[in-house]
A and B are shown apart, each in its own frame.
Chain A
Amino acid sequence: MGPLIPNGFIPDEWNNIIAIIIGLAFGYILEASGFSSSRKLAGVFYGYDFVVLKVFFTAAVIAVIGIFYLDYLGYLDFNQLYIHPTYLWGAIIGGIIMGVGFVTGGFCPGTSVCGAAIGKIDAMVFILGILIGVFVFSELYTLFEPIYDGYFLGNQTLMDSLGVSPYWFIFIFTIIALVAFFVVDQIRKKVKKVFY
């Protein structure tokens, strides 16, 4: 039966109201987990605070288990879900640029909105930067178009790319996450504390 809105179980007029409610929960969870602080976020790259890795990995594991479980039980049709498309070089180059942006700016788009909401001026400036970045991309779109539209592999999942069973992949992914949680705690004990 799910997803509910595309399948008409909930009228389309509710879509934007649900968007605000989902956003509200998203913003609340991010802020309450400490994602409104750039110094806390940057800790993941220097080993003094791994909150980003812990929240991010936990959320991904819970979400993927839940989605596949709901699909298995028949409450949610996985084939109707939007799979983020794979444009190979766009994903790599865009990711590299964002990686540099993360370390220099200390935020990502979602967390900068949280930071701005509680009065962080650096977060507001970061958002201004994003707007400029989008503007630059759009103005030079013809230049970026070959990577943006090229190397399209379809709306691929790892099952298509690697030929793995989703259930085995999720099992291994969960183990990797648990090992990562243990390892980062060991690293953090060795790294010099940073107070902020």
Chain B
Amino acid sequence: MNTEHQNRHVYWNPYFGGFLLGLLIIFTFYMTGRGLGASGAMKSSVVAIVDKVAPTHAENNAYYSKYIDEDKSPLNTWLVFEAIGVLLGAFISGSLGGRIKLKVEHSPKITSRRRLWFALGGGVLFGLGAQIARGCTSGAALSGMAVLSTGGFITMMAIFGTGYVVAYFFRKNWI
């Protein structure tokens, strides 16, 4: 039982994972001329929802209207297809590793409810920040660094630098 429980937490060697991820980034640039992304799909989802619920409002908004095209759905973008792939790929890996389980993961020192409120707040901040910086850890930081983009390096340093600065205040949630 104990070994089985431990095996569920066995992940790849991080350098192996990083190596494959690096190769995937090279492949992505080689095929498409662009890098990976993640927050782009969520932006497209919001545009699609708002466009469905309040089309006039979406058209009048200077931000949504950038992503609305008469001919195709806002969801018909490369990054949305990529995100569907991420969902499938993670599900396959999780299935093979025996890690599929509906649960709220949190430190034993805090309640699930507290964890979920912080997850929601963190998501709101990440969604907002990713729009301001025009990309998240994948699109701006990682893919930007792969082509030595100055903005990519700045965003990467800002994300992780800030993370270390504020980590102390949220330590109870994690350690």
Contact = CB atoms under 8 A, between A and B. Distances in A.
A84 interface: yes
Given A3-B30, A6-B32, A58-B19, A101 B126 contact: yes
Nearest to B16: A33
Interface string B128-168: 11111111111110111111111111111111111111110
A171 interface: no
Contact of B46 (A60, A80, A135): A135
Contacts, number: 531
Interface string A127-167: 11111111111110110110110000101111111000010
A187 interface: no
Contacts of A102: 122, 126, 137, 159, 163
B72 to A, nearest CB: 11
A22 B104 contact: no
A175 interface: no
Size band of the interface chain A makes with B: 35 or more
Contact of A106 (B34, B42, B122, B139): B122
B137 A98 contact: yes
Interface in A106-136: 106-123, 125-136
A86 B107 CA distance: 38
B90 A95 contact: no
Nearest to B101: A119
Contacts of B123: 101, 105, 107, 112, 125-133
Interface string A78-98: 101111111110111111111
Nearest to A10: B31
Given A20-B82, A39-B107, A60-B22, A4 B31 contact: yes
Size band of the interface chain B makes with A: 35 or more
Given A103-B170, A129-B127, A130-B124, A5 B132 contact: no
A72 interface: no
Nearest to A3: B33
A107 B119 contact: yes
B127 A133 contact: yes
A3 B166 contact: no
Interface string B19-60: 111111111111111111011001101110110000000000
Contacts of B50: 135, 138
Interface in A1-37: 2-6, 10, 15-34, 36-37
A91 B127 CA distance: 14
A67 B20 CA distance: 14
Given A98-B133, A134-B127, A166 B24 contact: no
25 contacts: A22-B31, A23-B87, A25-B89, A27-B92, A60-B142, A64-B148, A67-B147, A78-B147, A92-B158, A97-B128, A98-B126, A98-B133, A99-B161, A107-B119, A109-B137, A113-B87, A113-B90, A129-B123, A130-B127, A133-B128, A137-B63, A137-B132, A144-B132, A148-B132, A166-B148
Interface of B: 11-12, 14-15, 17-36, 38-39, 42-43, 45-47, 49-50, 61-64, 76, 78-79, 81-94, 97, 99-107, 115-116, 118-140, 142-167, 170-171, 173-175
Interface of A: 2-6, 10, 15-34, 36-40, 42-46, 48, 50-51, 54-64, 66-67, 70, 75-76, 78, 80-88, 90-123, 125-139, 141-142, 144-145, 147-148, 153, 155-161, 166, 169-170, 181, 192, 194, 196
